[in-house]
Each structure stands twice: as structure tokens, then as C-alpha cells.
Amino acid sequence: MSITLSFHGGVDGVTGSCHLLSAEGLNILIDCGFFQGSFETERRNRDDFGFDPASIDYLLLTHGHLDHCGRIPLLVKKRFRGKIICTPATYDIAKIIMLGRFRRIWRDCAS
């Protein structure tokens, strides 16, 4: 059995958490966070993910902070159709966070 873990955010800073766990043809994305900070850092929100969002089977959302859930709208725009796994509390918080930042997130995704 081959298992790989690749890092697509949250590596060189504390924002933008995004990690891909792959095993036996199953792809689980762990978080899909927004990069926050300087203008240069936030420009990374427009970058490609480094993987095909359509290939993701599950998104495991660890908690509802923007730096863990903020790029979910872009993930969906880029054809993610998998299931999202999280606790009810995480869902409630992520919903508030994303709706509160909705205009900014979608403006960034659109450009």
C-alpha cells in the first residue's frame, strides 16, 4: 500500500493550511485555507492548488478558521465535487467565517 502526503499550503507560514493525503486511489484533502498577511502572501490565494480539485474524494476540515476553510469556494469553482467531513461545530463556524468574508473571497477567486 502506497501512502503519500503532500503539502500545498501552511508550510512556510501559519496560514493557508492545505495538505493532500493519497492512498490506494483515494484522495483526502486536509483543510483548504486562505493565505493571510501581506499583499504578496494574499496573492497566493489566486494560485493553482498544485493538484486537480476534481480528483479529491473528501475534504477533511479540521476547524472553521479562515486559514483552514477560506479557499473552499475556489476549490468548488475549480470542480471539487467530493464530500466535506467536519464536526457540526466546525461547520457552523466555517459558515459564519466564509459568509463574513464572502465578497472578498469570491472577488479573489474571480480574478
What distance in Å separates the CA atoms of residue 83 and residue 56, rounded to the nearest whole number? 9
CB 32, CB 59: distance < 8 Å: yes
pLDDT on residue 104: 65
pLDDT on residue 26: 98
- Rounded to 5 degrees, φ, ψ at 40 are -65, -40
**Mean pLDDT per 10-residue run, the chain (111 residues)?**
94 93 98 91 89 98 95 94 98 88 62 59
CB 72, CB 41: distance < 8 Å: no
Q: How buried is 25 (Cβ within 10 angstroms: 0-12 exposed, 13-18 middle, 19+ buried)?
A: exposed
Range of the domain at 88: 3-110
For the entire predicted model, the pTM comes to 0.87
For the chain, the domain total comes to: 1
What distance in Å separates the CA atoms of residue 94 and residue 87, rounded to the nearest whole number? 10
What distance in Å separates the CA atoms of residue 48 and residue 37, rounded to the nearest whole number? 19
Let me know the angle formed at the C-alpha of 12 by 11 and 18, rounded to the nearest 5 degrees: 30
User: What is the domain-level CATH number for residue 30?
Assistant: 3.60.15.10
Cell matching residue 12: 512556510
pLDDT on residue 8: 96
